[in-house]
Amino acid sequence: MKKKIGIPSKRFFNKAEKLVKSAIGAMPELYQDYYHVNDILTDDTPELQNLILRETGLEKFKISAGTSDMLAFKPYISQLIGDIQGNTYYRNYNNPLGNTNARQALAIAENAKFSKDIYTYKNVGLTEGSTGAISQIFEYIKREYPKSEVVIASPTYYLYKYLAKFYQLDYKEAFRIKPGRTAEFDSIKDIEEKISPRTKLIILVQPNNPTNQLSSISDLKALLVRCKKQKILLLVDELFSDLMYDESLFTPSDNIAEKVNALQNLVIVKGYSKSKNLAGFRIGYLFSANKNFMQCIDEISEQRQCFAGASNFAGVIILDSFIQTILTQVAKGVKVDMAIFKSKILFKNVGLPFNRNSSIKKVVKSYTAYKNNLIQKYGDYLDLVLETLGNDIESFVPKTTAFNTFVKIKGVEKTNFFDVCLNYYLCSNVVTQIGPCFAFDQENWQRSPNLGFWLRISYSRENKRKFIVSLKEFSEFKKIYLNNPDKFLRTNLVF
């Protein structure tokens, strides 16, 4: 029977404290930040996890997960199974940038946005998820500009700041918030202020995770012009661009770059983990019109001696690229049948999984239905999240893109944020991620009135009941914790 949220025994807290201190003490200096401490305590300290399981009787649950529980598109799963059964890709070696047909398919799909071809397969590199792409770009910067500086639009994915530290590159975090019930995080103006003569790389996630912020076309255009003028590489992470609630609001970064003749200053990163729900397959890619940059990425890929495993899933990449090419043309006003006809010509040398028009039309129609259903489900989920936490929310971010949201929890301003999250985990076996996982450090979030206790909520859980119960338990726990702080574990640690 499920236990209610309560205050565990002193004996339990003593055991937990020893395990927590031991785990943190064993972490290397590079991991002494909020994200890594939180991640290692909740995912890589089995003794602590077993202790919590015995105490609560509950399996671990994440309300801030970076992946979705939703199933992938069935034809993609069928394609994967068929390719494995047919020994199609996995028995072959590929060149450093990955399977050529898959890269050609991606180039065709990305070209569909333009009136002329911008990319060939040589402008595309397969990577181990989008994280592999990001890592290669940082390695390029370290190799070519070892004394340079990186500007990171924050809050954002922890890996950007981690890689800057790992490669011993100086970095600045660009940040700007417009407070209010619906808060807006928009970093571009601060990015421009933080650019220096040493800046060689700027990071922008468009749309942002976790804030859902979408930078305006005019701001992005001005930033690209600045990058062109000062010979800066702009890395735009478009991982969440396929999950817009209103697709008309998003303009691809390379469409904007083309208009200001700044394609040479742009590299885009994408992957199949968020919108395709294939996170575990680690399918990612980067692409850029800059030939010299791509040549360096080729060399970096080769020296790693372990080329992208995404090549094993070339069939899915080709199938998805084919579907996206058709849908891009349809969005531009081309009739479906004509879009299929044109796309078949473009893909004739790539290796399509099927050729019959009736089959293609059916798959495109079912993919559209799948995606629309996914977006609808996410949207309903988000509304339920805001309703459930209503009285605890001081601010939230716009409903722009699925499947994360960022909410500011009120009432915990005078607490130690690490202790709040740690004790919630100890009492409920529920894992959270808050502001310092995505920018700055814990002290900044606790001290600044414009920051505070911002909680990322991933409303992509399949078990809706468990998810909503976890949110309600968070509210319940918060009341108990604030009324009885001395009865909980107090570390006073700051990361």
Report d(CA 330, CA 287) in Å as an integer: 23
In a shared domain, residues 188 and 278: yes
Last-in-domain residue among 322, 338, 363: 322
Range of the domain at 234: 92-322
Least confident of 230-239, 278-287, 301-310: 301-310
CATH classification of the domain holding 441: 3.90.1150.10
Average pLDDT of the chain? 95
Question: For the segment 106-160, what is each residue's pLDDT rounded down to a tens digit?
Answer: 999 999 999 999 999 999 999 999 999 999 999 999 999 999 999 999 999 999 9
Q: Are 292 and 160 members of one domain?
A: yes
| Collapsed DSSP state (helix, strand, coil) of residue 340 | helix
Q: What is the pTM of this model?
A: 0.95
Q: Tokens for 192, please give them.
A: 């421009």
pLDDT over 70 percentage in the chain: 98
CA separation for the pair 264, 106 (Å, rounded): 19
- Indicate whether 205 and 102 sit together in one domain: yes
Contact assessment for residue 56 and residue 428, using Cβ atoms and an 8 Å cutoff? yes
Give the pLDDT score at 354.
72
Residues 180 and 261 in one domain: yes
Residue 55 and residue 121 in one domain:
no
pLDDT higher than threshold 90 for residue 90: no
- The predicted pLDDT at position 1 comes to 42
CATH number of domain containing 222: 3.40.640.10
Domains identified in the chain, total number: 2
Together in a domain, 294 and 146: yes
Same domain for 57 and 97, yes or no, is no
Structure tokens at 194: 């933080």
Cβ atoms of 269 and 130 within 8 Å: the answer is yes
How confident is the model over 323-353, as pLDDT tens digits? 999 999 999 999 999 999 999 999 999 988 7
C-alpha of 258 from chain center: 25
pLDDT at 92 > cutoff 90: no
pLDDT at 469: 93
Query: Which of the four pLDDT bands, split at 50, 70 and 90, describes residue 356?
Result: confident
Per-residue pLDDT of 1-27, as tens digits, reads: 455 788 999 999 999 999 999 999 999
Indicate whether 52 and 98 sit together in one domain: no
pLDDT above 90 (res 95): no
Same domain for 143 and 276: yes
CA distance 324 to 272: 13
Using an 8 Å Cβ cutoff, are 235 and 267 in contact? yes
Helices (H), 332-441: 336-346, 357-388, 417-428
32 and 137 fall within a common domain: no
In this structure, are 49 and 181 located in the same domain? no
